[in-house]
A and B are shown apart, each in its own frame.
Chain A
Amino acid sequence: SDLTQDPSVSVALGQTVRITCQGDSLRGFFANWYQQKPGQAPVLVIHGKNNRPSGIPDRFSASDSGTTASLTITGAQAEDEADYYCSSRDKTNNHLVIFGGGTRLTVL
């Protein structure tokens, strides 16, 4: 089972952007979202239904509908420019985990 993300998305500084993740596994499991900057390990920004770990700004939020999960950044900042990955449990074997291919976010 795969998760599909758009390879790249851009947003003007201060505007709102939505990054999507599609896959059959999302019908049964919430997506989790990670931010990765060059040369660094990924950082969890959203987990479960719409939960932000401590230290993650509240401009990050998540939603889901059917087989599509979305990460929304409301009022994007320059420091949000990064790669974003979704992950979920695999519907075909729910002991396993799958990742989306990642979306590169450019803040203009």
Chain B
Amino acid sequence: QVQLQQSGPGLVKPSQTLSLTCSISGDSVSSNSASWNWIRQSPSGGLEWLGRTYYRTRWYSHYAVSVKNRINITADTSQNQVSLHLHFMTPEDTAVYFCARIPGGSYYWFDLWGQGSLVSVSS
């Protein structure tokens, strides 16, 4: 059974970097079919896809336009984890952050989600 377990701080100060980790069990972060995503949900409710990383003979990453200048998603193959790093945090980045898997296929659906991590940005 594949599971995603998230960890990281619940409070970040403005201008600092948020780092969240998603530990994968039952699948490999280096899978040749899956990709590993970060999605957030603001207090107002909507879902926003932030980016993804995947391995296909080398590592690839793609990021949403809204955050592409301050985001990095990395994989740690030794720990079977994927991490989100979001720099220069502001109060508008307060949200619940989810990691999620796209299992493969042409239409990019998220079949597995982490439990979510509530992150507040405040001094």
Contacts and interface: CB of A to CB of B under 8 A. Distances in A.
Contacts of B111: 44, 47, 53
Interface in B85-115: 98, 105-111, 113-115
Give 5 closest A-B pairs by Cβ, nearest first.
A47-B109, A41-B113, A32-B109, A95-B62, A97-B49
Interface stretch (B16-24, B40-48, B69-77): B40-48
Interface stretch (A12-20, A72-80, A98-106): A98-106
A95 B56 CA distance: 14
B63 to A, nearest CB: 8
Contacts of A87: 47, 49, 108-110
Please tell me the size bucket of the interface on A. Answer: 20 to 34
Given A47-B109, A99-B46, 6 more contacts: A42-B47, A42-B110, A95-B62, A97-B49, A98-B49, A99-B49
A48 B107 contact: yes
Nearest to A46: B109
Chain A contact surface mostly: strand
A98 B37 CA distance: 12
Nearest to A39: B116
Nearest to B46: A101
B11 interface: no
B110 A88 contact: no
Interface in A7-65: 29-30, 32, 34, 41-44, 47-48, 53
A41 B114 CA distance: 7
30 contacts: A29-B106, A29-B108, A30-B107, A32-B107, A32-B108, A32-B110, A34-B110, A41-B114, A44-B109, A47-B105, A47-B107, A47-B109, A47-B111, A48-B106, A87-B47, A87-B108, A87-B109, A87-B110, A89-B107, A89-B108, A95-B62, A96-B62, A96-B65, A97-B49, A97-B108, A98-B49, A99-B46, A99-B47, A99-B48, A102-B45
Contacts of B113: 41-43
Contacts of B110: 32, 34, 42, 44, 87
B46 A102 contact: yes
Contacts of B48: 99
